[in-house]
Amino acid sequence: MTFSLNAQTVGDDGDVVVFLPGLFGQGKNFSTIAKGLQPEFRSVLVDLPNHGGSDWTEEFDYVEQADLIAEHLRAGAAAEGPVSLVGHSMGGKTAMVLTLRHPDLVSRLAVVDISPVRRPAMGEFEHLLDALLGLDLARTSSRKEADEALKEPIPEDMVRGFLLQSLASTSEGLAWRPNLELLRRSLPVIADFPDVNAEYDGPVLWIAGAKSDYVKSDEHSEIMRSLFPRTRLFTIKNAGHWVHAEQPQIFTEVLKGFLSS
């Protein structure tokens, strides 16, 4: 059975840029950035496995995830040559693994606010996943009702709104697009980074949010440059972990400069 990976394309012309979102995300979360890259670039916005409109897997594994996306690119966006790859958070780890394992598919890589190391604390994501799994969808008839029910465990309007984008109406009622149960039990694997014995010698832009602790240049630079020797770190002020959502204009300018260089 062929694995179905959902993706949408923004733009008709230009070099191809492929975006991989983070945990809970969907490719469409990069729509604003993709529009900002037009007309010079054509963007492919991918839903990672177990997210959005893509199929689910039986286990979470970065290598499997990277290989599934590589197979999709090889038959599609990268069929005529290597593409630029952009990955945020969990999608950034996936992008790094894909690039190391399939360097012929990637002309350049942008890694957004994540490092190739184990993250020691995932309490925030445990809390969010537990809150979503605790929502009784059988007794919830609309996204508005779901929003009300989640206000106590998730009081931040922006976070709740982002998560509710993944709540879909089906013929059998409301359903979560992400494979929440798999993601919840796989958090230790998601927090880690696999041992990939390879090196990528293409250009790499490492983008960090100044208010985020996911990239610690003093601690993480050595391992990053051992895998990606041509890494350049750029930190965006007044941005946390969701750099592209918090500072979209600056992020787009920085990314476009890197893609055009």
**The one catalytic residue among 89, 107, 115, 212:** 89
Same domain, 15 and 62: yes
Same domain, 71 and 52: yes
Cβ-based neighbours of 109, under 8 Å, separated by 6 or more: 84, 85, 86, 87, 95, 96, 99, 200, 202, 203, 204, 205, 228
Mean pLDDT of the chain: 95
Same domain, 20 and 79: yes
Same domain, 114 and 242: yes
Domain hosting residue 179, numbered range:
123-185
pLDDT at 38: 96
Same domain, 224 and 135: no
- pLDDT classification of 188: cutoffs 50, 70, 90: very high
How many independent structural domains does the chain possess? Answer: 2
Determine the average pLDDT of the residues in 12-23.
95
Looking at 163, 185, 207, the residue that finishes a domain is 185
- pLDDT classification of 123: cutoffs 50, 70, 90: confident
Same domain, 60 and 179: no
pLDDT tens-place string over residues 31-89: 999 999 999 999 999 999 999 999 999 999 999 999 999 999 999 999 999 999 999 99
Looking at 185, 212, 228, the residue that finishes a domain is 185
Q: Is 89 a catalytic residue?
A: yes
Same domain, 34 and 131: no
| Residue 27, in any domain of the structure | yes
Residues paired with residue 208 on neighbouring β-strands, in sequence order: 235
Q: Is 222 a catalytic residue?
A: no
How far apart (Å, rounded) are the C-alpha atoms in residues 169 and 177? 10
Looking at 138, 168, 185, the residue that finishes a domain is 185
For residue 160, pLDDT over 90 is answered with yes
| Residue 1, in any domain of the structure | no
**Segments of 167-252 assigned E as strands:** 167-170, 173-176, 204-209, 231-236
How far apart (Å, rounded) are the C-alpha atoms in residues 16 and 210? 28
**The one catalytic residue among 51, 88, 241, 244:** 241
For residue 1, pLDDT over 80 is answered with no
Six token digits for residue 211: 């208010």
**The one catalytic residue among 126, 156, 181, 219:** 181
Same domain, 256 and 153: no
pLDDT at 121: 81
Q: Is 126 a catalytic residue?
A: no
Determine the average pLDDT of the residues in 150-165.
94
| Residue 2, in any domain of the structure | no
Which domain CATH number covers 101?
Answer: 3.40.50.1820
Same domain, 92 and 140: no
The predicted model scores a pTM of 0.96
